[in-house]
Amino acid sequence: MTSKFLHSFLAVAVFGLTISAFAQTGSAAAPAGAGTSPAAPAASPTITTGTGSKIGTINIEQAVVGSNEGQRDFAALQKKLEPKQNELKSQNDELESLQKQYQTQSDKLNDDAKATLMKQIETKKKSFDRSVQDAQEDAQNQQKEIFQRILQKMAPVIVKHAQESGFAMIVDTSNPWPQSPILWYGESGDITKAVVDLYNVQSGVPAPAAAGTSPKPAGPKPATPKPAAPASTPPK
């Protein structure tokens, strides 16, 4: 079982909220009048389209993770999580060993011994499952923080490049159709690489050291040991 970094909804949700803050070309909101109720909810920010005539695309997930800063920070996170991964692997190995012991020796054990071994397996499996869940949630929270932090700084770069290139709108293609409304798009309108190049210059973060053939940028996926299957309940 693996814990996928950068969930598909994350790129879309964070992209929309972040870009809207930088795409405002109007003025700041006017102060409320004397008769305005202080409890009235503020209007939701809208994404302002540009004055150009083209519609462009960007893979936000690939842009963030594929940037020099993204590659550096996600690699550092993966390294940071390795001790926990090793700990989970040890727990999983211990659980599998007990299950194998039950499967191979149950016919030689009396009822009390079998019940004791089964109880030990169940207890360790519950503990392992909780550890896996906690590790996944912690990893996801940390990758989300990295993703949001980088996108917050990348957003104005996207808007500036789109405005200077004559785009009226930029849509995110991180998710394929039908998960997103984008059915088809041409590569000529994709600004992902251009944005990554511009952001790399702005951030000043050097490219990671090449190690053979550079892999295609993708969300880091630190491996989580696959939980061992529960041992079958001994026949009564």
Q: 174 phi and psi, to 5 degrees?
A: -60, -35
The number of C-alpha atoms within 13 Å of 19 and in the hemisphere containing its C-beta is 23
How high is the pLDDT of residue 185? 83
pTM for the whole thing?
Answer: 0.67
Tokens of 47: 């994404």
Q: CA 109, CA 102: separation in Å to the nearest integer?
A: 9
For residue 143, what pLDDT is reported?
96
Half-sphere exposure of 42 (CA within 13 A, CB side): 8
Give the C-alpha separation, 186 to 173, whole Å: 11
Tokens of 36: 């305005």
pLDDT at position 50:
56
How far is the CA of 145 from the CAs of 41, 139, 149, 214, in angstroms? 28, 10, 6, 25
* Whether the Cβ atoms of residue 59 and residue 187 lie closer than 8 Å to each other: no
Number of other CB atoms surrounding residue 174 within 10 Å: 22
Degrees, nearest 5: CA angle 160-165-169: 75
What count of Cα atoms within 13 Å lies in the side-chain half-sphere of residue 140?
14
Q: Hey, CA dihedral for 7, 9, 14, 19, is it positive or negative? A: positive
Task: Give yes or no for a contact between 219 and 84, defined as CB atoms under 8 angstroms apart.
Answer: no
Tokens of 96: 């599998």
- pLDDT 10s digit of each residue in the chain, 236 long? 333 433 433 333 344 444 544 554 433 443 444 444 444 444 444 455 556 678 999 999 999 999 999 999 999 999 999 999 999 999 999 999 999 999 998 888 888 999 999 999 999 999 999 999 999 999 999 999 999 999 999 999 999 999 999 999 999 999 988 888 888 888 889 999 999 999 999 999 999 987 654 444 444 444 444 444 444 444 44
